[in-house]
Structure 1
Amino acid sequence: MRIDMRGLVVGLGLTLLSAFSAHAAASCGDNTGKPATGEPIVIGAITGKTGPDDFSNSTRAAKAYFDCLNANGGIKGRPVKYLVEDDQWNPETAAQLAAKLVNDEKAVLMVGNSSFVECGANADFYKKSGIVVVAGVGVPRECFFAENYAATNAGPRVSTLGAMGYALDQLKAKSVVCIGPNIPNVGTWSCDGIKSLAKEKGFTAETILMDPGTADSTSIILQAAASKPDVIILGLPKGVTIPLLTAAEEQGLNQTIKFLSAASAYDLSVPGTIGAGWDGNFYVNMEFNDLEAATPDNQNWLAVMDKYGQPSDPRDTFAQAGYLAARIAEKALMSLDPKDITRESTSAAIRQVKGFASDIFCAPWYFGDGQPRHNANSTTRMAVSEGGKWKVISDCAPSPDPELADIRAFEKNAGIAP
């Protein structure tokens, strides 16, 4: 019954979103209304579609935007040929696909990448190949510590720490258990951030790492609750988070412990799926704006998804990320002579992107030319599950992640406000 209801809620959510945004006309490129017919510009992407969870929402949204762009004149007459490959959550496969896109297909840029494994597998290769990645969803640490790799999302660590900041400031938490996936440079990286903040702020923190594919949800939850923490923070994919919340409710823990999550759980289907037992008890960090925000660019994202995406394509935070990555790529490419769009010229144009404003972001996005790493999106919001929906409960606030010290120093010197 729970699975059927989840499908019903997802379908209803997509229907409501479609109705909400149907009045808006999708705006892309020069809005010529005429298809681009020139020589294609090859852009690649790698995503984890098949594996423990479908993580392809970012590339789906990027494709929708590029399709809209191509229907409206493309890049000064040239269409984007967007090639998306599935790494199947396998680093070796990810490396093979990167070589295919970069060496064989001659991609000038990578856009919308979203994967748990490809950053680590390919970051050095991208640098050696002179190609820049404007990723949609960076997950492991390597996505945020590479010279040629910049994501539009905040990342699991920054998002998890954003949730922890709210727990400290608003929920007055003094003890926490962080649950993350046992994936290299993902779960440990995020939960270690909680520990670093705990040393700085003086609260207690424990970590549990779990295998997303085989762990027993009830055992994990009981282990987390054993120390009677004020809050439990989840840094896991949505498909893993929901069973943990179900197990927690079965144990009555939703009434005694506050649960929070990184942005991976910020999906319109989640409040209805987990039910009324979590009203006011399950909080999520938002790396971007409210999914239903009536602001111009958010409405354009929804309009693009309605007209150029598939009805089954999720309208979630990861789709927002892919849309933004495609728009950033468009901005850079539009600055070039259409006859001279090469990997070198495209990379140079991306490096010059500064102050990219969208009401989907809390703060303007920038590449950070010359920096050894990138994390431009580090200012986030919070929402709580209430009445089958998400209720936004905070203004934009900088993540308190201690590891952002170098990013904050760069922003200060460059005159960029977080």
Structure 2
Amino acid sequence: MCQKSKILVIVTIFPSVTETFILNQITDLIDRGNDVTVFAYNKSNDSIIHQLFLDYNLEKRTITHFKNQKTKWLVCKEAFIFFRKYRKKIDFSKVFFLLNPFSIGINKKKIKVYYDLPVLLFKESFDVVHCHFGYNGKKIADAYQIGICKYPKAILSFHGSDLTPSKVELYKNLYKDVFKFFNAFTINSIYLQEVLLKINPQLKNYYLIPEGFKKQYLQPYLQVKKEESFFKIVYCGRLINWKGPDRALRFIKVMVDSGLMNLQLHIIGNGEMKQELLILASQLKIENYVVFHGAITQENVFKIMASSSVFLLPGIADKQTQRSEAQGLVLQEAQYFKLPVITSNVGGIKYGMIPNETGFLIESENEQEFVEKLIFLYKNPQLIEEMGKKGHEFVLTEFESKIIGDRLTNAYHDMIQ
């Protein structure tokens, strides 16, 4: 790939606290000399902004859609602001053509696509359009189909929510044009690869590229001292059913009841289960052993991880959707901070650790074994140190952003050739 390719990245929410892997990928592309523009459908409502976003001044590279407002009046207002802000970039001949009374039929389709993707009205062209999530790829495929997207190459990254196992039959129709118009696809684990190939068994132009972390943003926190007075367990993720935060509370209850007192569970993240979890902690009478942090900056997540003993992610496969963790970059970040991981054998988790060397991979329904392994590490601090060191070395060689960036660059290169 040319050193200075012009790349349009299309995402749903930017910047998103829970999608640091996209931030990592975008900044790696910039590090390699590429000119990156981000088109986002929504601006994050979170007050938390990761340092990475600020350091790379990504706000200046980001174009945010105007349509996702609460009222029609606000949509109109934001649309006016959008067109005024970007008036020098917009090719108004395309806008005037849409008003042609002799092309009403085809123009209706074009207006819908341009409304979804107003960045296509810009004079500026791009060498590559890189979509994140299948449903955004569908919009670009529609633009290619009616001839208003002229970008030479297109690549689509699936992440998990867009490859829900229970929806395979639906995706066969939904992604039909995506497979036709996109030049390459990426998935982050063998688990997602298997789902993708159920949708399109003939697909060949796909690349297995895990999510990665930027070492330079984690490295300073390695100096944070471990809290030796507590066995500190960390859960970090959205507070939703299939990630299993309620199970983590039950495990702590068993440990406390067995006489292990100098321990803490730190729960990082927000989600629909938060109030339920607060009530459960009270019912189990373990409030003094659990700290709920809510959504916090990436930097504060790293501080907590670096001072902890073990990382816990007891997820399940959702009964209705069959969805589970596709990769879980947070597991690799935890291993970077020399934490053994205790996690479920669901989804793509097993591909991001070394079972019995960098942590323990447990069948999700075996709650007793989760507790046993937690107690085992509690009683064997030397093993925590040994597993932590192996985990740190493992993720540095497999998941660091520069390594992941090389794989993406190779995919771009294959696509452009």
TM-score when scaled to structure 1?
A: 0.30
Higher alpha-carbon Rg: 2
Give the structure with the higher percent helix.
2
Higher relative contact order (CA 8 A, sep 6+): 1
TM-score when scaled to structure 2?
A: 0.30
